[in-house]
Amino acid sequence: MNGRKVSEAVVRRLPRYYRRLELLKRKGVERISSSELAQQMNLNPSQVRQDLNCFGGFGQQGYGYHVSTLFDEIANILGLTQQYKLVIVGAGNIGQALVQYEGFRQQGFMVVALFDVNEKIVGSEIAGLPVLHVDELKQFIEENNVDIGIIAARRSAAQDIADTMADAGIRGIWNFVPTDVTADVPLENVHLSDSMLVLSYRLNEQGEK
Amino acid sequence: MNGRKVSEAVVRRLPRYYRRLELLKRKGVERISSSELAQQMNLNPSQVRQDLNCFGGFGQQGYGYHVSTLFDEIANILGLTQQYKLVIVGAGNIGQALVQYEGFRQQGFMVVALFDVNEKIVGSEIAGLPVLHVDELKQFIEENNVDIGIIAARRSAAQDIADTMADAGIRGIWNFVPTDVTADVPLENVHLSDSMLVLSYRLNEQGEK
């Protein structure tokens, strides 16, 4: 990457390219034209070319893209050639679901501990990982060089947890609590219900109910 | 709505407008200019005006948008003035987390039953809702006019479940299994890890690791 600022919209599309290319690779597809890739992804071809140009342009006139090269490049751009240490704060359903989420581990995201305030589960193990008390969060992040903190706690605690994580020197925060938290480190607020709202729009668009 | 086809990108931004306006409304903000709204949402003002024009244009030159009117209009466009009956297939962590997800109920999404194949939980209740066997799924959807089916089962079962739901006349499907399923009804594949990949991109963008 050449340090140029890449637009938010392009960055948001990168995971989609990554998933599509992974699928093509798995199917044994060796190369693909920008128009074919665009069609499969419901984008237009010039957008695909423009997006991929932002990262150096891996296509070749008349040949298209070499699938596994492009896949590797995008994995690299997404930082998936590294390993990340994760902690999850909140060992409820969402926290537990994320521990077991398929695919994270193979992409290099390793959960190393969970944190909670509930004395009934603090001290136990979930999926082979220790459940520690939130009071230990700061020290644990510092001592273990944790990269990413996932917030899956109750709403009222979310901002405090983000503050503790940032204070402890975490590199990024992934927030699953349906309230926007802020921090001075890269942060993604996940809005599960956004896609439900899109679905509900589509039902309406279809007409009668 | 005037039946015009609205672009995918605009539809995807609607939930963000909805959330932002809800926040403004809660804060007691009465009106907002397109440039202020754009700035808060990290969009450009002409895009905001263009987006909202797709739905009839609720702004007024020199005044901006009336927050609660615009909020109501967008809620209406998103179909949130209706009630939807939902079933969840897969009563594991994700399924249970979704049952308890704050905000769904107040937006009109009512889960009426869960389904699973695990005999240990079939027949029990989760959050006051019955857990039924997947074999009963088709009949239940038909008899109860279920609107939306959520798939939170294991990967290998996802497509079969989608087929059963579509056969039974469900109106839309929300798939949480990390594999793209297809159906002849509106369908949203949720890719939880996309936002994790964006986060990992941001960590990388910041430089050193």
Q: What is the mean pLDDT of each run of 10 residues along chain A (209 residues)?
A: 68 92 94 93 89 75 86 92 96 90 84 97 95 98 98 94 98 90 93 90 72
| Residues 6+ positions from A70 with CB-CB distance below 8 Å | A17, A21, A52, A58
Q: How far is CA B117 from CA A127, A195, B168, in A?
A: 22, 26, 19
Cβ atoms of residues A131 and A108 within 8 Å? no
- Determine the distance in angstroms separating the CA of B9 from the nearest CA of chain A, rounded to an integer: 10
Considering only CB atoms, B79 lies closest to which of A97, A187, A200, namely: A200
Query: A158 CB contacts (<8 Å, ≥6 apart)?
Result: A151, A175, A177, A179, A181
| pLDDT tens profile B120-139 | 999 999 999 999 999 999 99
pLDDT digits (tens, 9 = 90+) for B142-188: 999 999 999 999 989 999 999 999 999 999 999 998 888 999 999 99
Residue ranges in A122-191 assigned as alpha helix (H): 137-144, 158-167
- Complex ipTM value: 0.89
Q: What pTM did the predictor assign?
A: 0.85
Nearest CA distance, A23 vs chain B (angstrom): 10
Q: Do B201 and A103 touch (CB under 8 A)?
A: no
Contact at CB, B14 and A193, closer than 8 angstroms: no
